A = this chain, B = another copy of it.
C-alpha cells in the first residue's frame, strides 16, 4: 500500500517518519488526533484520484486534510488512516474580472486568495481569524462561516463550482462558473459542508464580491441580548452596508481587559451587560448612513453608550474587544468549547436559559459567551468545568436542540459531535444522509467516524 502511494505521488511526498507526520496527526487544540498509516501529499487532481483508487481498492480509510485548523477532529487521523494532505494543490488562476470569479486549488490559504483577488478590486465573501492557515478546500469541506455571514452567507454561497474526487477515484468537475445551471442535482452544494465524507475537493471556483475599502466600525453597549436584537433589527432595516454584527458580554470584556491591559470601553472602569460590535462597508464612506441609523435607534434597543471609528487603528481597537476573547479565555484555562445557534425569535430567552443551565450543571464553572448576533450563533466557552464537561455538553446541546437550534453552527460535527447528531436531525433525515453517504462512498473509506458515530 505505502509502496503504491509512493509510486503515485513520489517517495518524497509519502511521509511516515513520526517526527515529520506529527503536525498532521493532531489538531491545533491538541484535543483530537491519532497515528496515520502515512501522510500523502499529492500534487494535483490526477494524483488525488490515483491515491483514492488505491485506497478504495485496498479498503483503506482516508482522512482529507487542509490547513488543519478545524475544531471538531474532522481532519486528523484516529486509527491508522491515510492522511491525504491537499496543501500542494495551491495553484491560483487569474481573476476572471468579467464573471467576478476565480478558480483556485484546494490547498490555497484563504489569506492567499484574498491577496490575489484584492489586487484586482475584488474580495472573498468569507473571512475569519484562521485565514493564514485555513485552506479553501477546508473552507468548502466544512462550509466555513465567520464574520461576514450576515452579508454574504456561509462558504456555500461563495462556491460557484467545484472539482472533487469521489471515493472510487472518479472525478466530478463543474468548474464553468455558471450562475444559472439547472442541469441535475447540485452536487457542489452537497459536497460543501460534508466534512470529507462524500468526496475530496481538489479545485474550487469562487464567486467574488466587490472590494469594499470604506469601513466604519461601532461598538455599542446595551442593556441585554433582547436590546442587542432590537438594535440589530433597526440597523438591518436601514443600513444596506451592514456587514458584521458581533455580540459579547460583560464577563468577556473584563477578561479581555485584564489579559491585554486595555482600558474598559467608553472610558469607564466598569462593564455593561452586553456589547454589539457592528461594521459597515461600502464603496463610499458609510459613516453618515450609520450615524443617521444610530440617531433613530428605538428605545427598546437600550443603547447605553457608543463609540464609532473610521480610521484603521481606531477600528482595530474596537475589534480587539471581540477578537481577544479566545486568547483571553485560553489564558485563564482550558475551556470546554461549544458552538451553537438558535432562531433569532428565541435567542434572548435562550441566552438566559443557557446561563441557568450551566450554573445548575456546574455551579463552579465560568461561562463566557460571544458570537455572531444575526445568526443567533453563540460560541460557548466554559472554564473550570472540572469533571462536568460531559454533563455540560449534553445539557447545552440538548437545550439548544430543544429550542430549534443547531448543535454545530459553523464548526461542523466532526468526531466531536457525531453522537449528538440525532439531537437536531430526525430519524428520516439521518437515514437520508446515511443513504447518500452509502451511495457515494459504498466502501466507507472517506473520513470514517466523522459525522456519523
Contact = CB atoms under 8 A, between A and B. Distances in A.
Q: Give the 5 A-B CB pairs with smallest separation, nearest first.
A: A170-B428, A189-B189, A439-B439, A180-B409, A176-B404
Contacts of A426: 171-173
Contact of A182 (B186, B187, B372, B409): B409
A65 interface: no
Given A178-B405, A431-B170, A233 B98 contact: yes
Contact of A433 (B156, B187, B406): B187
Contacts of A425: 183-184
A149 B193 contact: no
A438 interface: yes
27 contacts: A99-B344, A100-B236, A143-B182, A149-B179, A153-B179, A166-B432, A172-B426, A172-B429, A172-B432, A173-B429, A178-B375, A178-B376, A179-B375, A180-B376, A181-B341, A181-B409, A182-B193, A182-B408, A184-B451, A185-B436, A185-B437, A187-B433, A190-B436, A240-B240, A435-B439, A436-B436, A438-B439
Given A172-B426, A172-B428, A426-B172, A99 B180 contact: no
A430 B193 CA distance: 21
A341 B179 CA distance: 9
A185 B198 contact: yes
Nearest to A144: B182
A: interface residue count bin: 35 or more
B341 A180 contact: yes
B436 A440 contact: yes
Interface string A328-345: 000000000000011111
Contact of A210 (B100, B183, B240): B240
Contact of A229 (B98, B149, B342, B430): B98
A411 interface: yes
* Oligomeric state, in copies: 2
Given A186-B189, A343-B176, A436-B439, A166 B405 contact: no
B410 A186 contact: no
A406 B177 CA distance: 10
A37 to B, nearest CB: 26
B180 A190 contact: no
Contacts of A372: 180
Nearest to A430: B184
Nearest to A150: B179
Contacts of A149: 179-180
Contacts of A436: 185, 187, 190, 436, 439-440
